[in-house]
Amino acid sequence: MPMKTLITALLLSAATLSASAVAQVDRYGYKLPPSMQQKKKKPAAAKKKAAPAVDYTGEYVNFGDWQEVRAFLDDVAARDGFDRAELSTLINQVRYVDTAVQLVKPAPPGKPKNWQAYRTLMIDAVRTDAGVKFWNDNAEALQRAESLYGVPAEIIVAIIGVETVYGRNTGRFRVLDALTTLAFSYPEAPQRRERMAFFRGEIEATLLYARQTGIDPLSLKGSFAGALGMPQFMPSSLMKYAVDFDGDGKIDLLNSATDAIGSVAAFLTSHGWQREQTGPIVQAATVSPNRAWEPLLQQGLKASYRPAELTAAGVSTATPAPDQLYGLVDLQNGAEPTEYWLANTNFFAITQYNRSYFYAMSVVELGKAVRLARGGAVASGM
């Protein structure tokens, strides 16, 4: 995609970094996942040249001459037993990707976030129809994952739909290019040093994964932030949480929908999903004019309050909430009134996939839409 188009999409969406363990952003931020950032080009006429294999321009930069890069490679070689000379040869083939730098820059200040606009982008006929087909094609794997991990099929389906439209757009950036660029040339932003440390860890995870699987690390393609496969796992998440759910002896998140399904469920379970939660994941809430509830918005990405505590602070719901822990979630709507919701522990498990209220809410909403379009009632706990 041309740079101008990508930057325009960023400014319009006011988005956060995608998913499977990348973003450390504030609770309002969101950035569209690869499925919305990298739109497919129209098929070329038969006589025309095929489209290039990548949709970014990687500029040659001699990363091997950078002191920080050399020190990092020294550490990785010593810690993981890599041949230092081979790492030098590899890093000399890595390109600088300005697109990645532009996309991780914070959104312009003063631009209001808009949940309803984001929802319109994420819960559409394309994703819903594709979700129905994906569910029908993978019903056995989804049922097995739900039984084993306790994560409803619609949540798994929705995450893969939001991330890549069921594998239609898994990203075309060379993973090592994107990760190295962000690890050593992250733009000025809050927590810049922490973000660069994160991406350096992802480079190391990529090298370990490539060695373990016997693949060329430069062959890996993914998002502008280095996320991989249908569910857009970062390399470290792939190493920790991905599972061989189809039993073929290897983990393939790019080509195996079954592995992607099992891995999403395993990730959520490892990050706090509880099968025993009752009632809906989210419930619309009304807040009192005295604003005694405002401190409840600072609980972080976790459920911390019992219904009685919420009621005492001036938060109410149309039907009584089950006696379990909740968080108060605020979804800004631009110039329109903010929406308030009670969210249970499983909502916050989804935010560990992508640290954004908008993202988690879109997963819940798309899951409902796909289940209803498929002709089923919304499952208990949705």
Q: Which bin fits 14, alpha (ψ -120 to 50), beta or left (φ > 0)?
A: left
Let me know if 163 is a catalytic residue. Answer: yes
The answer to whether 325 and 310 have CB atoms below 8 angstroms apart is no
Closest CA to 173 of 20, 309, 21, 53: 53
DSSP single-letter state for residue 350? H
d(CA 91, CA 26): 33
The answer to whether 297 and 330 have CB atoms below 8 angstroms apart is yes
Q: What is the dihedral of CA 312, 316, 320, 323, to 10 degrees?
A: -40
Q: What is the dihedral of CA 371, 338, 24, 107, to 10 degrees?
A: 110
The answer to whether 253 and 175 have CB atoms below 8 angstroms apart is no
Catalytic one of 59, 140, 154, 163: 163
d(CA 215, CA 217): 6
d(CA 16, CA 37): 12
Q: What positions carry a catalytic annotation?
A: 163
